Amino acid sequence: MQEAKSTIQAGKAILGIEFGSTRIKAVLIDEKNNPIAQGSHQWENQLVNGLWTYSIDEIWHGLQDCYSSLRANVKEQYGIEIESLAAIGISAMMHGYMPFDKNQKILVPFRTWRNTNTAKAAAELSKLFVYNIPLRWSISHLYQAILDGEEHVKDIHFLTTLAGYIHWQLTGKKVLGVGDASGMIPVDPNTKTYDAEMVDKFNKLIADKGYAWKLLDILPASLPAGADAGVLTVEGAKKLDVSGHLNAGIPLCPPEGDAGTGMVATNAVKQRTGNVSAGTSSFSMIVLEKELSKPHEVIDMVTTPDGSLVAMVHCNNCTSDINAWVNLFKQYQELLGVPVNMSQVYRVLFEEAQRGEADCGGILTYNYISGEPVTGFAEGRPLVIRSANDKFSLANFMRANIYASIGVLKIGNDILLNEEKVKVDRITGHGGLFTVKGVGQRMLAAALNSPISVMETAGEGGAWGIALLAGYLVNNPRKLTLPDYLDEVVFAGNTGTEIAPTPEEVAGFNAYIENYKACLPIEEAAVKNKK
């Protein structure tokens, strides 16, 4: 405690903040990369005029409340204020659309990654670039706005992601980490910046529109991990810490997306490593040795924070439906007058799921709170399907819900591992699904038919990951590469606890997923008929 207090007082602590879909989290780490304080803020996206968004006011209230929560945690533990820091890193959910005019005013409400209204744009750009362009990427949102004839497009002065926006407001710098940049428009792994050929194709595609800007005029500069990305300005310090205690002049690392911070937090930036992030959404990231043989519609090509090529399978839905069911059980406990400890409720229900049958007794659940592009759904309806002969027990029901949270992820990864024959030495899991020790980990291992490692820091997630990237900026005197820095300085040989699946578990999940795919027309009918 005294050592951590001294670190904070000396201004040597490092701050990482990540904007997740349901929580903004701040983690303060010491010089040995250990978390020493944290703060958080709960929030939810809103469906406004058919599009998922968070308002600018919500973004700033959330950031300031999260930082205030961190200050309170530091005060409670150590009895001191945060006045200076060694470095800061900002991370957020990737992709989406935040266009600003020349007066820094947002032109339309922030369109998040969750929106699936960009199908026409994504399909046309994929054909033009001969490269899979997902619905949620910034370039898809931009081109869809152009196709829809939206008036604001002509006034765009700057287009960025959520992490890029926050970083810009704190530092005055219009930059992005290369990993987050690769979710705007494809990045060339050799140059670590936007693919020149695709940029040129896009400019020619929209030339007849007569806009005053060309694509590179409005995009943030792409920076690799460790690059100078500016310092906290006086105005930025006031925006972050409304109490006025935090000093300006603190260096910031390049802002990154949640995919990049997940790779860092699991030490999965080296080729032939991979990670699975499982929270509100889920995605797997496999760092490739070479390009895939062809584009695949369900596999996105992004990069690590240091610019290596990554195959990403992104699923819009993961734990939200589990959370809804757990909340239902919580309400039942409250009706009985039983004191509710949510951590205990999750632990008991997840552990019960382990007692379920390997194929969930035939029970199926679809966790589609929103659309799911991997399986071809622009909209979703959460759904439970069972027949009279299925074994409907709490264990099987909870197991089916956990399976559903990673089922779509399996469908995408089967292409990588079985069709493309991608080689992976280690896959590490992190995020909320792995909070109950061993349960989500074992089921993911069965889904991917691969050993899965989880570290003690699995619950720290992306806020810790972006704090590590901030540490890489200021605490790397030997100028190590990012993979070597993580291996030698941060993790020092710690690969976590590994669980390998049994043949029975693999066979059970395979049976479940075949049933899952066969019943997708039922989900389709629910979307069509349940408004």
Query: Per residue in 70-96, pLDDT tens?
Result: 999 999 999 999 999 999 999 999 999
Quick check: 354 pLDDT over 70? yes
pLDDT beyond 60 at 462: yes
Tell which CATH classification among 3.30.450.90, 1.10.645.10, 3.30.2130.10, 3.30.420.40 matches the domain 1-93+228-265+465-498.
3.30.420.40
pLDDT band at 457 (very low <50, low <70, confident <90, very high): low
Q: Per-residue b/e over 313-330, b at no fewer than 16 CB within 10 Å?
A: bbbbbbbbbbbebbeebb
pLDDT at 322 over 90: yes
| pLDDT tens digits for range 230-244 | 999 999 999 999 999
Average of per-residue pLDDT across 395-416: 96
pLDDT at 13 over 60: yes
For residues 281 and 120, the model is more confident at 120
- For residue 254, the model assigns a pLDDT of 98
What number is the average pLDDT over the span 324-340?
94
| Token duo for residue 388 | 């009279």
Domain boundaries, the chain: 1-93+228-265+465-498, 320-410+503-529
Which band of pLDDT confidence, cut at 50, 70 and 90, is reported for residue 68? very high
Identify the weakest region by mean pLDDT among 11-25, 109-123, 333-347, 444-458: 444-458
Residue 459 has pLDDT above 70, yes or no: no
Confidence of residue 531 (pLDDT cuts 50, 70, 90): confident
Which long-range contacts does 153-156 make (Cβ < 8 Å, 24+ apart)? Answer: 153/99, 153/209, 153/211, 154/209, 154/211, 154/212, 155/101, 155/102, 155/107, 156/99, 156/100, 156/101, 156/107, 156/211, 156/213, 156/218
- Band of the pLDDT at 373, cuts 50, 70, 90? confident
Task: Supply the pLDDT for residue 205.
Answer: 98
Q: How confident is the model at residue 499 (pLDDT cuts 50, 70, 90)?
A: very high
CA distance 426 to 268: 8
Give the residue-averaged pLDDT of 240-260.
Answer: 96
Q: What pTM does this model have?
A: 0.84
SS (H, E, C) 267-305: CCCCCCEEEEEECCCEEEEEECCCCCCCCCCCCEEEECC
